Structure 1
């Protein structure tokens, strides 16, 4: 008997392909193991069916007694009892075969027209000024979208374009809502959404009128219809397809917390860059300050050098005369021990003494003239002499000389030195691009 039943099973499974069978569910039972057992019948016959847990878990609807369904199954034999049965691999509500055929036909038609092309897709704005939602006011999807938008960007305005999302008139209402949003131009991102459901429940979003309304909409459209595994024509036509209504809200709205974090990070980078530049400028300013010398310091050094030269100039003739006198004394001593031609030698000595005196006087006069010339140059460099001719010296309150008007700004305190005294003043204006002092 076992061999017979095994042979019959192998014959059934090997000779018949996987079949689609339609009928009405009868005696449906789901056991704790997850396996489903039922009979599929029509008005003339019935057959036992089994759907194991791994296949039953993929169903997106709950089979129930009396429901008309279509199953994809393998014809087999349960050897233990010799019962002929169908092992079910997939199940769908009856009539979905025509819907799938219509779905594929419309999908191919719109694809051929280029409505699915990536080139015509519009990018979503990074910071939308307002977001529109096309859905039913009673839909759970609306609550999910509003909750997500409120969490991500609380201040973002949201406008609802209400419509039915299921039923005979739903497709026309959805298309009218999309067209109304395009006409009003109140938003710059549009979410078309509804929650999950069967293929029949979502069929409004597979209608051609809805697809063409989305394609013609100048506003970027995010399609968030059904669950992650659901696909509709609206998903293919829309600029962006989201797996769920919640995901659609996340794609359409910026995340306030993320942008605040990015802004804070950019602020920190900017602060560090500013501090580095400030430190560089401070170091450069210190270097320039060390190189900058006050004119008074320069005059003081020149005055000291002039005094030293004057002392050396005054002392030079005396030292030279002393050397000549010492040399003359040596000559006299040598002369006393020389030949007795004293008159001639004395005469020559007197001439040398005269020349020496003249040379000393000339050298002294030359040094005195040079000293007078240096005194005149020093007097010309004296700021007080310049000030006595009507000029003035502008300084900061700390005594630093201001050389250029660009160093001053309106409201700066300054000190103006004249020949007789100094006065305090302030910068009050800058006519024709130049600073004016009063």
Structure 2
């Protein structure tokens, strides 16, 4: 039926117009293929899967019944870009229309996931996700700070876990918008306030579960940088176990849920008490053993034993002193004798090297008028005056003949 064929003055009931729309849609689109991005992927206990297909300008609800879901050859998730084939259907009680999906295939990466992957690569290249810059969580924190919605399920879970593990732990809630416009700015502001005033020992940043779009503020670049720059150790607790955000990588620790974050941050009071009891027992036993050892040691120190001990220490020293005193004169004599021998040897070497000793053996030294030693006959001429030095005295001579 075409809308143009309807009388202009006809009045429909809600049921009638809904039935008419249902008939037109379901008969006109018995088989249709729609491409879009998955959002709010929600498997049910019965095996059916409900989700939304969307693009930049519109969205349509979708359902995959159990039989078709079992035939899927991949695991879809929020942000995946897929191509769904099925039929349009109208749900009259709520006036909604949806596509009943029979088959689904991957059509490419969704816009949101692609954007997040590009941002992740950029921030990782700057070193914001490096393990060596992550800080350890304090073993005994006194105050836990929580940046989240003050009315959300996340803070209730954290408070319940904290109360169960350690009722005396202080919790400071730094209220923030956790989705939608302005969320990233308030999250960053709360992190800055916590650090500026040093409000806590551990800072949990997170929220409960939600669609990929709901969790986007925790992947904003400003939030990732604020978490990385925090001087207070941080735990990222965004969504449920299958959810993720970029601040998970820049935080010092990542918790799969807000409850798990509280488990990480808050030590069990019973464990602390048991550790203290163990330390007390160990310290008491150590003191007891040392006291007993000292008591036994002191008991052995009486005047008689002290004198014996002193004599035992003194006598070897006295014996060594007496032996050294007796050996000293002989050692000095031996040293003097060795020095005399060395002096005599040195004197002999010096005497053998003396020119006078050479002259005494019959040799003489001949010099010219300039006092230069004559070593070669060709260096003088006839009538030159020469001076001859024998072992004793001096001789002056004239050169008569040169051979």
Q: TM-score, normalised by structure 1?
A: 0.48
Cα distance in structure 2, aligned partners of 1:180 and 1:146? 21
- How far residue 241 of structure 1 moved from its aligned partner, in angstroms, is 1.0
Q: 1:96 to 1:174 in 2, by over 3 A?
A: farther
Q: Secondary structure at the match of 1:123?
A: coil
| 1:99 match | 112
| 1:275 match | 288
- How far residue 226 of structure 1 moved from its aligned partner, in angstroms, is 0.9
| 2:147 match | 134
| 1:52 match | 69
Q: 1:34 to 1:291 in 2, by over 3 A?
A: same
137-146 or 48-57, larger mean C-alpha shift: 48-57
Cα distance in structure 2, aligned partners of 1:118 and 1:37? 38
- How far residue 37 of structure 1 moved from its aligned partner, in angstroms, is 11
1:257 to 259, 266, 270: 270
Deviation readout 1:221-278 (Å, 9 max, x if unpaired): 1111111121101101111111111111122222221121111112222222222233
Deviation readout 1:324-344 (Å, 9 max, x if unpaired): xxxxxxxxxxxxxxxxxxxxx
Kindly indicate whether the alpha-carbon contact (under 8 Å) linking 2:116 and 2:219 is maintained by their aligned counterparts in 1.
yes
Kindly indicate whether the alpha-carbon contact (under 8 Å) linking 2:236 and 2:253 is maintained by their aligned counterparts in 1.
yes
Cα distance in structure 2, aligned partners of 1:191 and 1:149? 13
Kindly indicate whether the alpha-carbon contact (under 8 Å) linking 2:227 and 2:251 is maintained by their aligned counterparts in 1.
yes
Q: Secondary structure at the match of 2:138?
A: coil
Q: Answer yes or no: is 1:175 the counterpart of 2:200.
A: no
Cα distance in structure 2, aligned partners of 1:109 and 1:281? 66
Q: Secondary structure at the match of 1:213?
A: helix
Q: Answer yes or no: is 1:158 the counterpart of 2:171.
A: yes
Cα distance in structure 1, aligned partners of 2:135 and 2:192? 17
In our comparison, the structure showing a higher alpha carbon Rg is: 1
Q: 1:70 to 1:148 in 2, by over 3 A?
A: same
Q: 1:100 to 1:31 in 2, by over 3 A?
A: closer
Q: TM-score, normalised by structure 2?
A: 0.52
| 1:194 match | 207
Cα distance in structure 2, aligned partners of 1:223 and 1:142? 13
- How far residue 110 of structure 1 moved from its aligned partner, in angstroms, is 0.6
Higher helix residue share: 1
1:146 to 134, 150, 159: 159
What root-mean-square deviation, in Å, do the aligned CA atoms of Structure 1 and Structure 2 show? 4.2
| 1:231 match | 244
Cα distance in structure 2, aligned partners of 1:24 and 1:127? 45
Kindly indicate whether the alpha-carbon contact (under 8 Å) linking 2:147 and 2:173 is maintained by their aligned counterparts in 1.
yes
Kindly indicate whether the alpha-carbon contact (under 8 Å) linking 1:227 and 1:243 is maintained by their aligned counterparts in 2.
yes
Q: 1:58 to 1:137 in 2, by over 3 A?
A: farther
| 1:244 match | 257
118-127 or 158-167, larger mean C-alpha shift: 118-127
Q: Secondary structure at the match of 1:219?
A: coil
- How far residue 74 of structure 1 moved from its aligned partner, in angstroms, is 10
Unaligned runs of 5+ in 2: 1-32, 87-100, 307-403
Cα distance in structure 2, aligned partners of 1:149 and 1:32? 30
- How far residue 69 of structure 1 moved from its aligned partner, in angstroms, is 9.3
- How far residue 51 of structure 1 moved from its aligned partner, in angstroms, is 2.8
Cα distance in structure 2, aligned partners of 1:189 and 1:252? 7
Unaligned runs of 5+ in 1: 1-19, 62-67, 76-84, 294-438
Kindly indicate whether the alpha-carbon contact (under 8 Å) linking 1:22 and 1:69 is maintained by their aligned counterparts in 2.
no
Q: 1:104 to 1:140 in 2, by over 3 A?
A: same
| 1:113 match | 126
Kindly indicate whether the alpha-carbon contact (under 8 Å) linking 1:96 and 1:199 is maintained by their aligned counterparts in 2.
no
Kindly indicate whether the alpha-carbon contact (under 8 Å) linking 2:36 and 2:83 is maintained by their aligned counterparts in 1.
no
229-238 or 262-271, larger mean C-alpha shift: 262-271
- How far residue 109 of structure 1 moved from its aligned partner, in angstroms, is 1.0
- How far residue 153 of structure 1 moved from its aligned partner, in angstroms, is 2.7
Cα distance in structure 2, aligned partners of 1:89 and 1:119? 40
Cα distance in structure 2, aligned partners of 1:250 and 1:55? 37
